[in-house]
Structure 1
Amino acid sequence: MTSSYSSPALANSSGLLSPGLVLLLASGAGFSVATLYYSQPILGVLGAEIQASEGAVGMVPMLTQLGYAFGILLLAPLGDRYDRRGIILAKAVLLMLALLLGSIAPGVGTLLAASLVIGLAATLAQDIVPAAATLAPESQRGRVVGTVMTGLLLGILLSRVMSGLIAEQLGWRAVAFSAFWSTLAVMLHADFGLGSAAAGAFGLAGAAGALAAPLAGRLADRRGPERVTRLGAALTAASFAALGLVGVVPPEIQLGVIVVAAIGFDFGIQATLVAHQTIVYGIDPPARSRLNAVLFTGVFVGMATGAGLGSLALGQWGWNGVVVLATLASIGALAARLVRRVAP
């Protein structure tokens, strides 16, 4: 099935997307995917608020990430076949309703159910990104043509992408990344007496990693995505390992070590993700939505796994257990990158 629609307001006189549309698409993608992480800064105080155990509260980020994984696997591929505008609108409404339900949840059961739906609906970000990529080259003609996957079966895509890029590399990094962020607020509350505002401020430090995206893109163009993935993997592993210093450095610089490590591993993970997207999209460019689905399903399954394992490690062995888990997972990703060369 091929669909088309007129969009004369999409482009300006130079044939590029209008600034207003760029801002709208960027805001929609950013705010929707941010809903996956709204609960994390308040996990330290959330349990007492709704009278839930630490283990139950730890399932909130896990179910949100798992819902996102299921959403991009089952819902994101629809963007290759149907009008993405309708899909984006429907998911936006569902996301708003789920967020409202989560905000008034009387107990942990309702909150967990809302978290799963939030993850499912937040995948509208995965519809916005391919839509923006499709709109840009078509805007000079004033219309957008939605395409369907041709030439490769989904099973072949799954085997080529999952086995080479996700299960061995991105999945491991996602485990480490999520294990850290899903337990940070609980640790800060227990060990440093800091509240949700402080935990949220650490998110701003991690957001500095977003600067890696344009840098990684330019480096991948000049040197190839393979080199970027190796550099990103090495930086990620080193940054997580540096968290082991928190328990041995003077108390006055412990929070600084966490901030520097967060910036480092987030930068490395973002760079690696951009490089892997370059490799994955090259498999079959007309199938961006399906390729996005395969890629990010693996990533967010890893994120959900990391949230669950991180919560378990924190409960059993404390913060050092989380650090060991994240470090080993990131070293595993680096080893996979070094010993196996993945061809696009």
Structure 2
Amino acid sequence: MPEGDNIWQLFVKGLRGETTVVRIHKDATVDELINKISERNGIPAETQRILYTTKQLVYGQNKYLSDYNMEDQSNLTVVLRLKGGSNTVEDLSPPPKQLDEDVETTEAPDMISWEDDPNTPRAKMSCGHAITPETLTTFCESLLSSGKYVFKCPYIGEGRAYCGKEWTYLEVRRLAVLTADEKKQFETKISDNYLRKGMGIQECPKCHSLCERINKKHKRVVCPLCSASDGVEFHFCWHCLHQWVGGGIEKCGNVSCGGEDPRLKILRDCKKKTIVGVANCPAVRACLKCGMLIEHEKACKHMACVCGQKFCFICLKPDLNGHYQCGSYDSPCEIAEVQKTIPADN
């Protein structure tokens, strides 16, 4: 193939109302293209955005023109990135969030923003739906701001079918790639919302009234408000928060319901790890006060939940008057068995 057939003409517009022609090899990198444009217009690469259709060309990530499905005689647009005047402090945007290599990703579009750029990784949530870390963070922040402490998938499919599957905080924390500041914000808000609305309180899935069980052993409960307004008793499952569709009082008839608080399954199935030399410790525990799940990451065995409760992650003994009962932060102690109840619901 002649060399000329490998050279593309790209039309770059957006500055001074003019269109500039850039000639470049079809196998060139995005960096090479942006550098050419920068040389042509005299503007540093970091202060301009280059767009092809709705996609921004990403500088410094070893991308090629072919990664954006570009072709000969494609049209590009330059957008200047303006600094604030009058000595204003420059707003430095955080770098894009990067998913762990072992996170399962998907090519399906983001369920909320409909982002479908193949260069933008989207995590596959436990319910199977796709979302980017940034969208997941923003969505969950909105739930927390509205007083929620449970994260549920908002996906609406064909026939207006609502997913509504619950995501644990552990899943959200990992797939939203929360920063240290975001973790603090999330955990504090979850605890505040839970202590205010939780502690054995749920929302009726139909009328959304706050409800509390008279007998905490009951799985099948009746909402008096829905029953009075409909003229028929409305029964729902306390654990999965769906209408009770079966008979009896133990199994609600919903396929997705395990008949127990979903946190108990997480506590049973969590991985084991070594903490301060003590092997086979559960990696996840429920706070002794508020019931929030806490995952041990590293360092000492002493935990301080955002609700204020302090306890040992290994033996589960609470601190007394500011002192831990099982010795110093790095001393071995006896492993408490896997928790079989959620403390706040006892």
More strand by share: 2
TM-score normalised according to structure 1 size: 0.21
Q: Which has the higher contact order (CA 8 A, sep 6+)?
A: 1
TM-score normalised according to structure 2 size: 0.21
More helix by share: 1
